[in-house]
Chain A
Amino acid sequence: MTTKILTARMEAHPEDSHTLARYESTGGYDALRKALAEMTPEQIVDSVKASNMRGRGGAGFPMGVKWGFLAPAEPRYLVINADESEPGTFKDRQLLERDPHQLLEGILISSYALGVDQAYVYIRGEYPKPARRLQRAIDEAYGAGLLGENILDSGFSLDVSIHLGGGAYICGEETALLNSLEGRRGEPRLKPPFPAVEGLYAKPTIVNNVESISNVPWMTLNGGDSYAAIGPERSSGTRLFSLSGHVKKPGNYEIVMGITWAELIYELGGGIRNDNALKAWIPGGASAPWLVPSEHLDTLVTIDDAAEQGTMLGSGAIVVMDETTNVVAAARNIVKFFAHESCGQCTPCREGTSWLDDILQRILDGQGRPEDIDLLLDVSDNISPGLAWPPAMTTICPLGPSATAPITSIMRWFRPEVEAMIPMSEVASA
């Protein structure tokens, strides 16, 4: 329960956890020294595979499996996805600001394992402070011979560069990110080919999230097996959850998965503001279908349990809504987000998200029509046929289908409330 891997240093040394001096005085770069002196690249890849860690960016794909797809052609690239933009998510920001050397050491070990000599960190443009903190860490590392040519006399060389984004959520999708890094519009690519075969500059590329890579030093020192032993079998390791909304104690919480939602919201989060009643919560970022207290408070916070309930832990962002929440306004807020962030390549997403936005706004304005309920569901069904989870895709990437999550959520859990807002509907008339 109390295992801390990612946030231990920043909690113990809040005044200087981001500096090289503090990092090295608390065991930092020992994992790199071990990797370079005692381990082959294959052994590190095996360790990451053994950890069973599922990627922390949102898709939850096992990191070791992803690494296993890397094609042999050279050069190869490692790209760190620090485009944290899923509404509700602010964990990578903390890792970048408070322990940038932990990420950098993860990048070094991963690059050595993957045969990479150039890594890029793509940081969203709205994160200048995280970028400055990481840049200072990079400068310190070059100065100490931990980056550049022949690192620690091992023969291994690596350069790391930061690239700032331009304010586009879609660039968190890994192929959109690669296009953006190539100086193009951030439009997702058709897959296959996957980035591991043809990624940055059409070369084999691994794209991993900040939190995922920040775990690599610990795995390297302690073994992937030890990591796999933490928590439930298919939700191994600790995880940073971003808790926000109507809770008394918002923040990032590093926990071992497998506790209940009640524990997470009422114990870690301190309960609901003003001791109001809990109405619903989003368990994994704006893309995730919502959960409700009558059904889910005592269920477990694991990747598999979330899937069983027709939702996901996604990026680890939990947004809590209390009894005062207008769920139609909340759903419209999320739909509007996706409508704004749609890249426009695929018609169902480009048109569908705007339609959903318009219809919800009409209902909020008191101009809703009785047939709008069916229309919302029909438009959603055209974006993601069947309205199941994980969503069926009519589009290149999951952005459009994600926009249907708030629609299906309010229809499933709060339909009478939605109907009551439509003047001529039966519920409103009654």
Chain B
Amino acid sequence: MSNPISHWSPANQERASRLLEAYPDRRSALMPLLYVASLEHRYASDDAMEEVAELTGITAAQVRSVATFYTMFKQAPVGEYLISVCTSISCHLLGGEDVLESVEEAAGVEHGSTGEDGLFSVEHVECIGACGGAPAVQVNYELIEGVMPDRAGALVGWLRDTKPDVVLADEMQQLFGGVRSFDWGPTEAEGAIRPVPAFAPYGSAREGR
């Protein structure tokens, strides 16, 4: 049988092999593999789901059933920067909807969609655990707390102008953030390289700046 992921980058192939061995049942690797496949394909595409199905020994329909259950496995191509604005209760009370509007306007993209140039996707999300730093925003799942509507617009402009290779929470927080849920402590060197949670075992984190 040909290796279903022979066209993946060698590093991602190695990650996939490691993930498949990390659990007593290889199906458990399904969600981590969907993240790795999303790095390869920019989203959980039909091809991505087929590949994950072959790797885990289940059908593509079973993979689709799982992938569509979770909001972080995207069913359509996502922009370079996925901007997620929290509108759950604590952010709602402190103006999360205004932040969303400001982001939509600055990005020229309505929530739930991706701009034509493929730079931005905008979404509103349910609670991201940053309630003490409401209103909160994530860029490629990297967090910024205490973002006022005007600063959210400035954040979008900064992303468009600087197009960072690695999205760093501390950098964005310093430039555009405000009140935080708690003291973050020392600066983090690692950030996100794609709209996939930045986690080294999944290949989606890299040191920046």
Contact = CB atoms under 8 A, between A and B. Distances in A.
- A and B from one assembly? yes
Interface of A: 10, 14-18, 84-90, 92-94, 97-98, 118, 124-129, 131-132, 135, 161-169, 180-186, 201, 242-246, 250-252, 282, 286, 317, 319, 321, 325, 329-330, 333-334, 337, 340-341, 343
B93 A128 contact: no
Contacts of A319: 89-90, 93, 131
Contacts of B127: 85-89, 169, 286, 337
Contact of B32 (A84, A163, A185): A163
A203 to B, nearest CB: 9
B112 to A, nearest CB: 13
Contacts of B183: 10, 14, 98
A333 B89 contact: yes
B10 interface: no
29 contacts: A18-B185, A85-B129, A86-B127, A87-B89, A126-B128, A127-B129, A127-B197, A128-B141, A128-B192, A128-B205, A129-B169, A131-B197, A163-B31, A164-B197, A165-B31, A165-B70, A165-B72, A166-B31, A166-B72, A168-B71, A169-B127, A181-B28, A183-B29, A183-B56, A186-B69, A251-B182, A325-B93, A330-B89, A333-B87
B199 A132 contact: yes
Contact of B30 (A118, A165, A183, A282): A183
Contacts of A325: 93
Contacts of A340: 126
B185 A98 contact: yes
Given A132-B199, A251-B132, 6 more contacts: A131-B197, A165-B31, A167-B71, A182-B25, A183-B30, A246-B93
B130 interface: yes
A244 B73 CA distance: 29
B27 interface: yes
- What is the size category of the interface that chain B forms with chain A? 35 or more
A126 B199 CA distance: 11
A136 B138 CA distance: 22
Interface in B109-158: 125-134, 138, 141-143
Contact of B35 (A129, A164, A185): A164
A97 B188 CA distance: 11
Nearest to B141: A128
Contact of B88 (A87, A186, A242): A87
Given A131-B197, A169-B126, A90 B92 contact: no
Given A129-B143, A183-B31, A340-B126, A245 B181 contact: no
A282 B185 CA distance: 29
Given A164-B197, A166-B69, A182-B27, A337 B186 contact: no
B181 A251 contact: yes
B176 interface: no
Nearest to B183: A14
Contacts of B23: 161
A334 B141 contact: no
Contacts of B71: 166-168
Contact of A135 (B30, B143, B200): B200
A89 B197 contact: no
A118 B197 CA distance: 24
